[in-house]
């Protein structure tokens, strides 16, 4: 029998999504429902840590993909240890541990629910009870034991229920009240929590939560009849008159074609492979179409149409527009 939180037809939840849920419900919704995922320097540093651990290997290192239809959950545990015939899931974190009131090391709630989720997946996979998990905090060089007791299991089930409820919702959850969480969130540029706080209270001074400059550039193709092609890992812009120019793919974030500029299918494929958006505009700047490799946009459209078919939602939107107009 499947968990009551699992709905027929729903794709399995990622264990990492429960980590996001425990951190912030709005973050979970953006990543898992709207499928907006951005990687900042902390994410890449974490990946580098895990890559290094995998390279080291060792008798106790065994990264393992786990999946349970009953739980509606899937994930890859960092490390799997075995003690006295029992499995112990272990997670590795770059940051510092949580300090309890007595000064002892503890696991953060998001890390705790993540390692308990892996424990439940191991139980479903091997049919053996898992008594504990562990979280290694490399900044403090400490390992925290996480008991998989009744309280931890209840917390895990509650997280699954919350995830199911949010997946069925057509509205984003409110921003978190804990402003400190926003400072370390990779999705702050999408969530815009400081803008929301400023709207609530105009005296609130917004804090810049992301760099003023983007890593990638926007490639505007303005010359009439110009074409964008591919040459290795570069975009090649060939105008009708004048020399061609080359632009490395890793330096480009968006390609915008103005007027009758063209792009080859090979260049479009490279855009799709690297998550680069392509946008077509008229010569006067009116938007015609866009191509982005983000399936979440389709899901957002579905939820928008569903929401606007609900009378209560339409009434609320009309009230907000009227209030802002007057």
145 domain-assigned: yes
SS3 (DSSP) at 112:
helix
Asked if residue 255 and residue 140 are part of one domain, the reply reads no
3 domain-assigned: no
Which pLDDT does position 211 carry in this prediction? 54
Asked if residue 153 and residue 128 are part of one domain, the reply reads yes
pLDDT tens across the length of the chain (326 residues): 556 665 655 788 999 999 999 999 999 999 898 888 765 555 545 445 544 454 444 445 466 889 999 999 999 888 888 877 788 999 999 889 999 989 899 999 999 999 999 999 999 998 999 999 999 998 899 999 999 999 999 999 999 999 999 998 888 899 998 888 888 888 887 788 888 887 787 777 767 665 555 567 889 999 989 999 999 999 999 999 889 999 999 889 899 999 999 999 999 999 988 888 899 999 888 888 888 765 555 656 666 777 778 888 788 878 877 876 66
184 domain-assigned: yes
Asked if residue 114 and residue 186 are part of one domain, the reply reads no
Asked if residue 143 and residue 114 are part of one domain, the reply reads yes
In 78-141 the beta strands, taken as DSSP E runs, fall at 79-83, 86-93, 98-99, 105-106, 132-137
83 domain-assigned: yes
Which pLDDT does position 3 carry in this prediction? 63
Query: Which helix (H) or strand (E) covers residue 253, if one does?
Result: strand 252-258
Asked if residue 161 and residue 30 are part of one domain, the reply reads yes
Asked if residue 319 and residue 252 are part of one domain, the reply reads no
Asked if residue 205 and residue 129 are part of one domain, the reply reads no
Instruction: Indicate the residue among 151, 182, 212 that finishes a domain.
Output: 212
> Phi, psi at residue 136, to the nearest 5°?
-100, 120
Specify burial of residue 57 (Cβ count, 10 A radius: 0-12, 13-18, 19+).
exposed
Q: How far is CA 241 from the centre of its chain?
A: 43
Query: Which helix (H) or strand (E) covers residue 204, if one does?
Result: none
Asked if residue 266 and residue 305 are part of one domain, the reply reads no
Strand 13-14 relative to strand 73-77: parallel, antiparallel, unpaired?
parallel
CA dist 318 and 301 (Å) reads: 19
Asked if residue 150 and residue 101 are part of one domain, the reply reads yes
Asked if residue 126 and residue 28 are part of one domain, the reply reads yes
Which pLDDT does position 111 carry in this prediction? 94
202 domain-assigned: yes
Asked if residue 194 and residue 227 are part of one domain, the reply reads no
8 domain-assigned: no
**Domain boundaries, position 185:** 174-212
Q: What is the DSSP string of 148-178?
A: --HHHHHHHHHHHHHHHHHHT-SSPPPPPS-
Which pLDDT does position 56 carry in this prediction? 44
Asked if residue 45 and residue 160 are part of one domain, the reply reads yes
280 domain-assigned: yes
The total number of structural domains in the chain stands at: 4
Would you put residue 35 in left (φ > 0), alpha (ψ -120 to 50) or beta?
left
SS3 (DSSP) at 98:
strand
CB 310 within 8 A of CB 169: no
CB neighbourhood size of 164 (10 A): 17
6 domain-assigned: no
């Amino acid at each position: 029998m499947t968990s009551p939180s699992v709905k027929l037809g729903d794709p399995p939840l990622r264990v990492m999504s429960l980590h996001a849920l425990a951190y912030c419900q709005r973050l979970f919704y953006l990543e898992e429902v709207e499928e907006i995922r951005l990687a900042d320097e902390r994410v890449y540093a974490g990946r580098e840590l895990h890559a290094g651990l995998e390279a080291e290997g060792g008798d106790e290192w065994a990264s393992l993909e786990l999946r349970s239809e009953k739980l509606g959950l899937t994930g890859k545990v960092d490390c799997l240890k075995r003690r006295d015939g029992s499995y112990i899931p272990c997670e590795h974190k770059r940051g510092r541990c949580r300090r309890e009131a007595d000064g002892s090391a503890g696991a953060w709630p998001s890390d705790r629910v993540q390692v308990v989720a892996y424990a439940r997946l191991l139980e479903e996979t091997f049919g053996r009870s898992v008594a504990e998990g562990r979280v290694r905090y490399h900044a403090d060089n400490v390992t925290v034991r996480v008991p998989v007791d009744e309280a931890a299991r209840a917390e895990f089930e509650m997280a699954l229920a919350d995830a199911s409820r949010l997946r069925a919702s057509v509205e984003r959850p409110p921003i978190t009240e804990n402003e400190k969480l926003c400072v370390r969130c990779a999705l702050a540029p999408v969530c815009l929590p400081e803008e929301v706080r400023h709207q609530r209270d105009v005296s609130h001074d917004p804090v810049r939560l992301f760099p003023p400059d983007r890593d990638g550039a926007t490639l505007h193709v303005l010359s009439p009849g110009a074409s964008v092609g591919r040459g290795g890992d570069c975009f090649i812009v060939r105008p009708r008159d004048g020399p061609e120019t080359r632009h490395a793919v890793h330096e480009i974030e968006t390609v915008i074609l103005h007027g009758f500029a063209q792009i080859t299918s090979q260049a479009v494929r490279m855009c799709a492979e690297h998550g680069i958006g392509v946008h077509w505009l008229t010569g006067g700047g009116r938007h015609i179409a866009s191509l982005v490799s983000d399936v979440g946009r389709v899901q957002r459209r579905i939820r928008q149409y569903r929401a606007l078919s609900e009378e209560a939602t339409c009434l609320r939107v009309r009230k907000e527009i009227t209030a802002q107009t007057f």
